[in-house]
A and B are shown apart, each in its own frame.
Chain A
Amino acid sequence: MGSRTAKIAGLGALLLITIVAGILTARAAETTGKEALMTGHLCSERCLAGGRLSACDIESAVDSRVVLFTGDRKLYHIELGRAPQWKIDSAFGKQVVMKGTLEGSKIFVNDVVALGGKKKLSKACL
């Protein structure tokens, strides 16, 4: 009888673990692989901690991680997706809009552009 109860309890635990794993997998799948568009301030963690958002130099990212600080005060760590490194460097220290895939607190950046300062391009470029 005791052995049967233990078996049922074991199966129950296994079922619970499987269900939780399934839910976690599903949640992970929802937060990975889909592109999102985000805006915020691209800077280093060091600048953010020092409150130097508008005067953040790219040298500060040498030994500090690059982050996106969004308008709703969330922090995302920046990882390279398909965007080339130079695009991230040129937008550093500025208000940006970026698209990329989210994985937890990381954004894998596929493209980024600094906001403000309009460029000119002729329609001849189609």
Chain B
Amino acid sequence: MATVFVVAVSGCAAEKLSAPDAIPPGYVVTTEELAALAGRPNVVIVDARSEADYRKFHISGAVNIPKAQLRDPKILKEILEYKKKEGFFIPPEMAEVLFSDAGIGANTRVVVYDSIAFPDASIIWALLKYYGHDNVQVLKGGFEKWASEGRTVTGERPKVVEVAQVVEGGVKKWAPKGRKPADPTKSFVARPRPELAASREWILKNKETIRLLDMRSFEEYVGVNPAGNPRGGHPPGTISVDWLQLAGNETVKSLQEMQKILNEAGVTKDKTIVTYCNIGFGRSTYGLFVLKMMGYDVRVYGGSFEDWSGATELRVATAEIGSFKDWSAANISP
């Protein structure tokens, strides 16, 4: 009788989720695994770092898809409009040209790597997942681990994949940069998965069943650092987990460590988690990558805080002296 009572009382404690036993397939590869894959047909290695870093040294055979092109001022207006409407950060026509030019097709296994300093590989991972390509993994430990193990790197035979818009017959088309629009028979066909993305409109419509997760630094979350946005802070009710706390120095910490951090922050599985950062790719896509790995129902907010803070009719929360906040108490409210 007493035992039953004790169990019942203890059951009031906060939810503690257990981590999966092992990282499920389709998320990471080790340096050993990548070394065994190199040179095989139907394997494309993508270097997601900056073009400058790539040109200095990269893993032999890797193609470079730098993220800078996703913020190119020439296409930014169109990209922002697409994000606002669809909640994801590049349109399918652009993705098709980009990945086709990188040599990726339906039967390609893609391994993407970055520097552990920033989660650029998650951008490519999320793009491919969103557009229906599941056979993609991230190199655990990044370029630094590969190089520190004395594995071969080179600066030769670089291939930088960039796309641009050209006007052909009065119609805007995407094409590999400096070339004409790609052949109509592209190797990569985009099949969007809208269930991985969230627009502002979708967030407000579903606010009772979701939880926003801020993957930026605590300084940005609190509002001390507005990071170029019209207003600093975060949407009310948002949970903060700085991506670096999950990444450690090897792309991802152990599942148990990451689950502990998520449990402490109150990231539960009873709601859909929507990750965001400043502009909708990078730290937010890293959140998508990790939380999917951990078995959460998760989406990425393509517009991210740039979009939210620019919508002046929506509230933004900042830290105030003397306040105490229970994360679970607040809800998203316009």
Contacts and interface: CB of A to CB of B under 8 A. Distances in A.
B and A form one assembly: yes
Interface of A: 14-15, 18-19, 21-23, 25-26, 29-30, 33-40, 70-72, 82, 95, 97, 99, 101, 110-126
A97 B325 CA distance: 11
Contacts of B283: 126
B5 A35 contact: no
A29 B225 contact: no
A88 B324 CA distance: 19
Contacts of A15: 1-2
Contacts of A115: 222, 224, 319, 321
A126 B281 contact: yes
Given A29-B14, A119-B225, A113 B219 contact: yes
- Range of interface residues on B (Cβ < 8 Å): 35 or more
A100 B279 CA distance: 27
Contact of A39 (B242, B266, B277, B319): B319
Contact of B266 (A25, A30, A35, A121): A35
B126 to A, nearest CB: 13
Given A37-B319, A37-B324, A115-B224, A25 B264 contact: no
Contact of B218 (A18, A40, A113): A113
A87 B327 CA distance: 22
Contacts of A118: 224-226, 232
Contacts of B118: 126
B245 A82 contact: yes
B240 interface: yes
Contact of B222 (A23, A26, A101, A113): A113
B6 A33 contact: no
Contacts of A22: 2, 5-7, 9-10
Secondary structure class of chain A's binding surface, majority of residues = mixed
A34 B266 contact: yes
Contacts of A125: 227, 278
Interface string B43-57: 000000000000000
Contacts of A110: 245, 264
Among A33, A34, A118: residue with most chain B CB under 10 A: A34
B245 A19 contact: no
B282 interface: yes
Given A19-B2, A37-B324, A72-B322, A122 B218 contact: no
A35 B320 contact: no
A114 B13 CA distance: 32
A29 B10 contact: yes
Among B3, B16, B224, the one with the most A-chain Cβ atoms within 10 Å of its Cβ is B224
A23 B9 contact: yes
B73 to A, nearest CB: 12
Contacts of B16: 33
Nearest to B319: A97
Contacts of B245: 82, 110-111
Contacts of A113: 218-219, 222, 224
